Each structure stands twice: as structure tokens, then as C-alpha cells.
Structure 1
Amino acid sequence: MACMSTESCPMNGGNGQYSYTRNSSIQRWGVEASKALIGEAVWEKLDTNFSTLFNIADLGCSVGPNTFIVVENIIESVKLKYPSPNPNSEGIEFQVFFNDLASNDFNTLYRSLPRDREYAASIVPGSFHGRLFPKSSLHFIHSSYTLHWLSKVPKELLDKNSPAWNKGRISYGSAPNEVVQAYSAQFAKDMGSFLKARAQELVHGGLMALIIPCLPVDTSPSECPLIAVMDLLGDSLMDMARMGLISEAKVDSFNFPKYYPTQHELKTLIERNGYFSIDRTEPLAQSTTHARDLNFQIFISHTRAAWEGVIKMHFGSDIIDGLFDRFMKKVLKFSPLISRHSSKQIAEIFVLLKRKAS
């Protein structure tokens, strides 16, 4: 089977029970937690020439509403730094580009646009692992909770003659080191492509703010709760295979295209690109309210909103309800896996990059 591409696997669209619109409060927490950091970044670090038009891109925007919170925060921060010298003048105009895969539900995004917005809105479909915009056309780029999604499954995982053949598993948490290395190598390729494209599109002195889920220091993939949860989903699929509901070969040919890098990996890849300075990198502080409010049902609903598309593309839609019922039972049995208080839990890292002058 060919390596799975994520080109047709956006977050769930619409406004239904398992839509991303109704199941993205976890990501919204990160967006809200980074608001002050973005404001400080604009005030202290933004150093670029523009006339009256300021271009912003949100990459991997999905369907809202989180992307609108981000955009409005950036705009308010820029207006604060560059106030209009004349109260009667219109001041800066803002153009916002909402980017996601071509299969994203842009209709829901457009219907949800704030009516009182202070910007012109444009949609730019396509993968952010390649070029999307003209050279030196953007002043601020934002992307959150997107870069851990790989552009495709590493081909070694599907090769029966490879030591990285991932038979019986759908991720790398409990897999041999060869599997982990295959995931890591694909992430490095994808991150390299992403940074190369953004370096061409961002003006000198422009900023890029990222929120990237990362593996904590001194934590192996097998110790990380969120990666272990993917193993539980894999166990649920194997249970269905043993019951004859799906074929075991179908499970063997499925691997989740997600990889959580370490902060060291991330820093190394950015430095290797050479076109950005790392002006800030820090974990977002966990909120006790956020941790308390993350119950099992919310976790499963959020997981389904994000993961259903890639599962459905491989297995079809008939197994989805049964699969997530089984998955829910396993998560309840191993409830500590989703504790936000775990020291081994994925850390949301805020990264601020500035485009170098050369």
C-alpha cells in the first residue's frame, strides 16, 4: 500500500457533535495562553517595513473559532504598536489569509467569520509543507497544533522487509527504535520543507509564532500519556480485527501520521534552516481550570474531531462509532493516561521566530 498522505484528512467540519468547531477547547486553551506572548512579540520584536497593508497568515486554520481569536489578537497588537498618527485617517489595513488543506471545510469557516472584523479575509488552500504565498509578502505567520501532523506516513513502516515495519501497531509509543527513527526522519523532512517555504514568504524582520506539542525532557515515547493513548486506539483496532470486523492486514497497513518532537529536535531543525532567529521558546503554563475541566467525554470528543478523518480515509466510515466506543472503554480503564497533571504529558511549546535579514 502507498504511504498515507494527510492531504485529505482535515479536522471534522460542520457543526455536528464531533465537529472541530464544537470540540477544540483544548486547542483554544493554548491559543488563549499565548495571547500575551504574541502581544509582547509584536511590541518588542516586530521590525519590518510596510506601508499601510499588513499581511497575516494562519496556517492550518481549520474551521474556527480559534483562528479568529488568534487573528484578532495579532491585529490588536499591531495597532497598539503602530497607532494611526491622524485620528481621521483609516490607518493600517489588514489582510488575513486562512490556510488549510483543500479538503478543509472552508464553508463553515466563512460562515463563522466575525461580522465586525477589521480585516479582509482570503482562503488559501494547500499544504503548508510547500510554498503558498509570493516571496516576501507576509508580515506575520501563525500556526498552532499543526506541525506534529506529518505530510505522510514514513514508507519504512509499510515495508515488510524493513526493520521499521510496524506490524500490529499504529504508532511508535511501544514500537522498536527503528520505527521511532522513521517518524523522526519524516518530521525532519517536513519541518525542513515548512521552514524553507516560510523563509521565502516572510519579509525580513517579520515574525512567525508557533505552538508545537513536544515530548517532555527525559521522557521516552512509551512513557508519554498522549502517545500511549494512540496505542490504545491501535489495540481497539486489533480487537475489531480479531472479531472479524476488519482485516488484520488493514490494521498493519495503518499508521498514525503524527509525531511529537523533543524541544532539542525542534531547535536543531530551526537552526539548520538558518533563515530564522529563535527569539523565544517556552512551554505554555498549564491552567488548573483547564486541567480540571478535561473530562473523559471531552477528551474522546476532541480526539474524534481530530482523528476521525485519517481513520475514515483508511478504514471507511462504518467502523467509526464502534471503534470509538471501544476506545472510550480502554481510556476509562487506563484513566491516568489523559491526566494533564502528569509530568510526562505532552508540553505545548510556544516558539517565536524572526526572519533574518539575510
Structure 2
Amino acid sequence: MRESSPMNAGDGTYSYTKNSTVQRDGASGVKDAIKEALMENFDIEKMLGGSTIFTIADLGCSVGPNTVSAMESLLETVEHKCRQQGLEDLEFQVLFNDQIGNDFNTLFAALPQPRSYFSAAVPGSFYSRLFPCSSVHMAYSSFAIHWLSKVPEELQRKDSPAWNAGRIHYSDDSPEAVLEAYTNQFQRDMEAFFGARAQEIAPGGVMVMVVPGVPDGVVTYSGGVAFRFLEFILSDMVKEGVIEQEQVDLFNIPNVYPCVKDLRRLVERNGCFEIVKMEFGEVVVGKVEPENGIMLIRAVFEGCMANHFGAVVINQLFVRAMQHKLQFAAILNSAGIQGTAISQIMVVLKRI
């Protein structure tokens, strides 16, 4: 399975651009809390040390317009703080990072004209170094670090106790070995992530993250029932001979939904960041109808699934998903999910 799987490109019917309002509302729901944390804990004058260039990096920016509104909000806060500290004549640059295959053309077409900042694309994995040492003053990442750098290898070996046959993710009833494989991969990835950011973010700089997550002690993410829905459709396609069972057995969604306790432990293990704010919450995103939910799933996971099963098969899968949208609604209702809120963790860290 090829690991690179950006969100659906362009601005068409199935694009991330048209089907990411849940992620937008999730990030917007903590905007005021982020602003408050930054205003109280961010000393721009001390951090810049005489420099007149302020750099923000969005890690996992995707195609917009969510990143555009997020950067505008952060810049508004920074400019407010600058006025408060009597700083003038600063220039701002925003560095948009995502995988090499990301649709940067659609992103840059969405940038406001004119705008108050310089901009550039920085393609590459955020699990490795992306920027020069101490060159970033504020890093931001929203709905991105729950994507693993790769599917845990243990899930792809038939002789492994973590062989996840018939399933495409983990849940409360998953074997311990499956949960451990996902947990260990997330830990390795986060160690790499925080290690790279510790080198790139200037002392006194900050990192802001919005991460889909779960309460402490909980395993299954509320939106994870969508994976069970996809498993049901894949099972039917196997029975009809459209795909082989082994193809399903070898496929696993490379996502982990952490809790505050897990993230806190990984930040503290790195030792380079002070935790300014880290809290779990439910953010209201408005009613998401089953049809819109399926479109969201397609915009996010189609690339990942098409890399494994092929584009034709996955197009058929989502056609079937729409045909079974009432069953999807029943699955959501039985899980107590009304499609009106999203579970996430808001994090503000300060580089020591």
C-alpha cells in the first residue's frame, strides 16, 4: 500500500474543498481559546530577537479553504499582540506544508488577493525536518497528525498476532496486538514529529494543534463507526467477487485518535516544549446528514483507499455507500452519534 494519500484535490463534487466543513467548524470552535492562550503566553519581541520577519507554518494544510481562514485568524492574533507590544514594520510569511502529492494549485488559487503575508509551499512529510533551525515562530496543525506516516507493519503480516483480517481499523473489541501496533506506530511518529519541530521552532515560539481525539481511557473515536460502515460494504463486494478477501485483510486505515494523556506523555518525553494548554472537548459542528457524512468520508479517505484497491473499485464502493445511506444513518444512531459535534483535542505548546 502506497502511503502518500492527500485529501481529494480540486474544488469539485468529491473534493476536500467542498467537503471539509466539519474540520473547519472543529478548528473554528477553539479559535477563541487559542487566541487567549497566545495573547497570555506569547512574547513576540523576545522571541524575534530583533528580526523583522515573522514566520508561520501550517503542517498538513491540505487544499483549503480551511487553512486560509486558520492563517488569517492566527495572523490577526499575532498583529494584535504586536500592537500590544509596540512592534511595528514586521513582515509576515506563511509556509504551507503537506505531502508532495497535495493539490497546492487549488490552495494558492484560494489565497486572498491582496493579502498581508508572503506565502510559499513546502512539500514533504511533517514526520521529518522541513525548515531551517529556529526559523519558525508559530507552527499550526489541524486535523493532520492523527494520520500515521505508514500503516503499522504488524498489521500486514498473516503470521502476526496483529493481523487485522476483515477489519480496516481498530475499536474497543480489537485484539490487544492490533491496538498495540497502532499505538506503537503513533508513538514513533510523534517522537519524530516533536523532534523535528523542536529544531525548527525558535525558542519562545509556539505550536498550535487541533487533533481529532478521544477522552482519556476511551479507545474508539466517535466517528470511527464510519469504518464499520465501509467494512460492511467491502464485505458485500467480496461476496460478489468484485474484490478478494485478502485485499480487505491487507488494508488498514493509517489513523490514530489519541487522548490527552497520550499526547501529554509524548510532549513531556520530548522535553523541548512547555504545555500551555491541552484539553479535550466536544465542538458543535452543526447537523451532518448521512449523505454529507459519506461525502466527507470520500473526500478524506478516497485517495488512501484507491491506492490499495484501485480507483474503479473505490468509486463503486462510494456509489454503494450512497445507496446504503439509510443504513449508515442507522449505524450512527445506534452508536448515539447525532452528527452535531466533533471530539477533538486542542493543544498549545511553547518552545523552551
8 Å CA contact retained: 1:21, 1:63? yes
Percent identity of equivalent pairs: 44
Unaligned runs of 5+ in 2: none
RMSD of Structure 2 on Structure 1 (CA): 2.0
8 Å CA contact retained: 1:213, 1:347? yes
- TM-score normalised per structure 1: 0.91
Match of 1:9?
5
Do structure 1's residue 44 and structure 2's residue 43 form an aligned pair? no
The counterpart of 2:29, out of the listed 33, 36, 53, is: 33
SS at match of 1:184: helix
Deviations 1:175-209 (A, max 9, x none): 21110110010000011100000000000010000
Superposed, 1:61-76 pairs within 5 Å as: 61-76=61-76
Unaligned runs of 5+ in 1: none
Superposed, 1:230-249 pairs within 5 Å as: 230-249=227-246
8 Å CA contact retained: 2:16, 2:300? yes
Do structure 1's residue 187 and structure 2's residue 186 form an aligned pair? yes
Q: Pick closer, same or farther for the CA change 1:85–1:276 going to 2, 3 Å.
A: closer
Q: Distance in 2 between matches of 1:335 and 1:79?
A: 42
8 Å CA contact retained: 1:142, 1:210? yes
Match of 1:226?
223
Match of 2:159?
161
Structure 2 counterpart of 1:177, one-letter code: E
8 Å CA contact retained: 2:207, 2:348? yes
Q: Distance in 2 between matches of 1:225 and 1:90?
A: 45
Structure 2 counterpart of 1:65, one-letter code: P
Q: Pick closer, same or farther for the CA change 1:305–1:338 going to 2, 3 Å.
A: farther
8 Å CA contact retained: 1:170, 1:256? yes
Deviations 1:24-78 (A, max 9, x none): 1001102211221222232111124322110000000001111111111111111
The counterpart of 2:248, out of the listed 251, 266, 270, is: 251
Structure 1 counterpart of 2:36, one-letter code: E
Match of 2:81?
81
Do structure 1's residue 59 and structure 2's residue 59 form an aligned pair? yes
Superposed, 1:335-350 pairs within 5 Å as: 335-336=332-333, 337=335, 339-340=337-338, 347-350=343-346
Q: Pick closer, same or farther for the CA change 1:353–1:5 going to 2, 3 Å.
A: farther
SS at match of 2:312: coil
Shift of 1:284: 4.1
Count of aligned positions: 343
Q: Pick closer, same or farther for the CA change 1:318–1:5 going to 2, 3 Å.
A: closer
- TM-score normalised per structure 2: 0.92
Deviations 1:2-45 (A, max 9, x none): xx453x20000101101011011001102211221222232111
The counterpart of 1:273, out of the listed 265, 270, 275, is: 270
Q: Pick closer, same or farther for the CA change 1:85–1:91 going to 2, 3 Å.
A: farther
The counterpart of 1:122, out of the listed 111, 114, 120, is: 120
Match of 2:130?
132
Shift of 1:218: 3.7
8 Å CA contact retained: 1:100, 1:125? yes
Deviations 1:75-104 (A, max 9, x none): 111111112999xx9721101000000000
Deviations 1:99-146 (A, max 9, x none): 000000011111111112100000000000000000000000000101
8 Å CA contact retained: 1:214, 1:346? no
Deviations 1:222-274 (A, max 9, x none): xx442232122122112101110011111111111011112211111111111
Do structure 1's residue 297 and structure 2's residue 296 form an aligned pair? no
Shift of 1:217: 3.1
Q: Distance in 2 between matches of 1:152 and 1:85?
A: 43
Q: Distance in 2 between matches of 1:280 and 1:225?
A: 23
Match of 1:200?
199
Q: Distance in 1 between matches of 2:235 and 2:257?
A: 24
SS at match of 1:94: strand
SS at match of 1:133: coil
Shift of 1:158: 1.0
Do structure 1's residue 148 and structure 2's residue 142 form an aligned pair? no
SS at match of 1:182: helix
Do structure 1's residue 20 and structure 2's residue 19 form an aligned pair? no
Structure 1 counterpart of 2:332, one-letter code: S
Structure 2 counterpart of 1:279, one-letter code: V
